[in-house]
Structure 1
Amino acid sequence: MTTRDTVISVKNLSKYYGELSVLRKIDIDVHTGEVICIIGPSGSGKSTFLRCLNYLEKPTGGEITILGNTLYGISSGANVEKANEKNAREIRKNVGMVFQQFNLWPHKTVLENVIEGPIQVKKADKRASIQRAEDLLKKVGMLEKKNAYPLQLSGGQQQRVAIARTLAMDPKVILFDEPTSALDPEFVNEVLNVIKELADDGMTMIVVTHEMGFVAKAANRVCFMDGGYIIEDGSPQEVFKHPRTERAKQFFSKILNV
Structure 2
Amino acid sequence: MNATLSGFKESIIINVILLGFLAFPYYKKTILVLFIPCIYLLLYILPTFTTIIRAQSWIQGKSNETAREQAYQTLLNEENDQKIIDNNWEFLTNRFSETSMFTTYLKTVPQQYPYYALDILINSCYMIIPRIFWEEKPDTERLAMERVYRSGVAQRSSPVSAKTRPVTDGYLSAGVTGVFVYMLIYGMLAQALCNLSEKLFGGYQLGCIVIFNSIFQQLWRGNTLEFMLNNIFYGYILMLVIHFVLKQTKSLQRLYENHTHHSFL
Bigger relative contact order, structure 1 or 2 (CA pairs below 8 A, ≥6 apart): 1
Q: Quick check: which one's helix share is greater?
A: 2
TM over 0.5: no
Q: Quick check: which one's strand share is greater?
A: 1
Please indicate the TM-score interval, normalised by the length of the shorter structure. Answer: under 0.3
Compute the TM-score of the two structures, normalised by the length of structure 2.
0.26
Compute the TM-score of the two structures, normalised by the length of structure 1.
0.27
Larger of the two Rg values belongs to structure: 2
